[in-house]
Amino acid sequence: MSLPKSKNVNVELYVGGISKIQNIKNPLKLSANESALGPSPNVINIFKEKLDLKKYPDGNSENLRGMISRNFKIDQDQIIIGAGSDEIISLICQSFISKNDEVIVAEQSFLMYRIYSQLNGAIVKYAKNIENKFSVDETLKLVSEKTKIVFIANPNNPTGTYICDKEMIRLRKNLPENILLMVDDAYAEYVTKKDYKSGLEIFNTSLNTVVCRTFSKIYGLANLRIGWGFGSKDIIQSANLFRPPFNISGISEKAGCLALEDHEWLEKNIVHNNKWSSILFDKIKLKKIKTNEPVANFFLLNFDNAKLNSEEAFKVFLGNNILLRKMDTYGIKNSLRLTVGNEEENTKFIEILEKNF
């Protein structure tokens, strides 16, 4: 029997962190950079309303695009909505990459850039990070006539570092105009550094840069899968050709609108993150665990000089119902990633840290 054959693609599988512990009902999950405080209470109210589930949602997400447009003062026609920013990355790869094009990603950065690029037939070039930071020079060294897209997450996951606005502008200036720059602003709202500007702020008039944003991080809506992209009308139009017609649900669209409206809740999250990331940073450093300065809502922890190595540390925290993210899939040795949690979670993390290091 000759069965249908799927396409032969050379792609690594995305392997997420563990999210369950056997026999433990609610482990403290500090492994996925999710929000510490959850969504705005206004969002929760949606679920108390009578929902008309039998009708399709608005396939153009007009309300959410309108809300984003007013909130960020950008043209609604330059916005595309996705099932998470994940889908925006996928749509950009589908609409721009042809077989054997090259893309450039930092060797330690969000895995989906390389995965969607490979799925679309691209050859991935890996730029070295310098001191755990995206390097403009290392990236520029890899540019060739075949380069189609350069990806950058700023701040970067999983290193927790950022590049300043001047470096981002230098990157764009030195890339040939025909290369698309994709700036992933997933953690932009958390950053309070004076020399930082988000992709959205820097590239609001660019014709060859696309920015993606998410409701999964500071807005606390990871489960509802809402992200969006911003770019020139041409870029957005081409990405829309590949977008499934009803790619986010009506509930997600409404939740996104309500989340954006609640500026107070956003501020509360920023204050919480500043407070706790600074406390965690000091405690971690005292234990000779190397880490990045607090920038977003997570830390990359390196155990080379610490009392326990990363495997031992992972087990100790797991034994106390705390899940951290292993870094093997990112190829980062002797390291774990920690997300800033709520007060109870952070206090418990610090207690275990103090006891064991």
Ligand X SMILES: Cc1ncc(COP(=O)(O)O)c(C=O)c1O
H-run or E-run covering 51: none
Nearest distance in Å: CB 184, ligand X: 5
- Please state, in angstroms and as integers, the Cα–Cα distance from residue 206 to each residue in 122, 124, 178, following that order: 24, 24, 12
**Of the residues 31, 40, 85, 118, which one makes contact with ligand X according to CB under 6 A:** 85
The smaller minimum CB distance to ligand X, of residues 157 and 335, is found at 157
Binding-residue pattern over the window 11 to 40 for ligand X, x denoting contact by CB under 6 A: ----------------------x-------
β 227-230/209-214 pair status: antiparallel
Interface stretch with ligand X, choices 82-90, 199-207, 265-273, 327-335 (CB under 6 A): 82-90
**Cβ pair 56, 246 in contact under 8 A:** yes
Contact call for residue 216 and ligand X (CB under 6 A) = yes
Contact call for residue 186 and ligand X (CB under 6 A) = yes
Contact call for residue 297 and ligand X (CB under 6 A) = no
DSSP 128: P
**Of the residues 65, 67, 78, 86, which one makes contact with ligand X according to CB under 6 A:** 86
Interface stretch with ligand X, choices 81-89, 197-205, 251-259, 299-307 (CB under 6 A): 81-89
The smaller minimum CB distance to ligand X, of residues 102 and 185, is found at 185
**Of the residues 28, 30, 67, 84, which one makes contact with ligand X according to CB under 6 A:** 84
The smaller minimum CB distance to ligand X, of residues 229 and 250, is found at 229
- Reply yes or no: is the peptide bond before residue 245 cis, omega within 30 of 0: no
Nearest distance in Å: CB 248, ligand X: 11
With CB under 6 A, what is the number of residues at the site for ligand X?
13
Distance CA 301, CA 322 (A): 15
Interface stretch with ligand X, choices 20-28, 83-91, 162-170, 301-309 (CB under 6 A): 83-91
Interface stretch with ligand X, choices 60-68, 163-171, 214-222, 260-268 (CB under 6 A): 214-222
Which residue sits closest to ligand X, CB atoms considered?
Answer: 84
Helices 310-319 and 343-356 cross at an angle (nearest 10°) of 120
Nearest distance in Å: CB 100, ligand X: 26
Q: What is the 3-state secondary structure (H, E, C) of 192-239?
A: CCCCCCCHHHHCCCCCCEEEEEECCCCCCCHHHCCEEEECCHHHHHHH
Q: What is the 3-state secondary structure (H, E, C) of 258-278?
A: HHHHCHHHHHHHHHHHHHHHH
The smaller minimum CB distance to ligand X, of residues 219 and 349, is found at 219
- Please state, in angstroms and as integers, the Cα–Cα distance from residue 153 to each residue in 69, 112, 320, 330, 356, following that order: 22, 11, 32, 15, 33
Distance CA 349, CA 346 (A): 5
- Applying CB under 6 A, which residues contact ligand X? 33, 84-86, 110, 153, 157, 184, 186, 214, 216, 222, 227
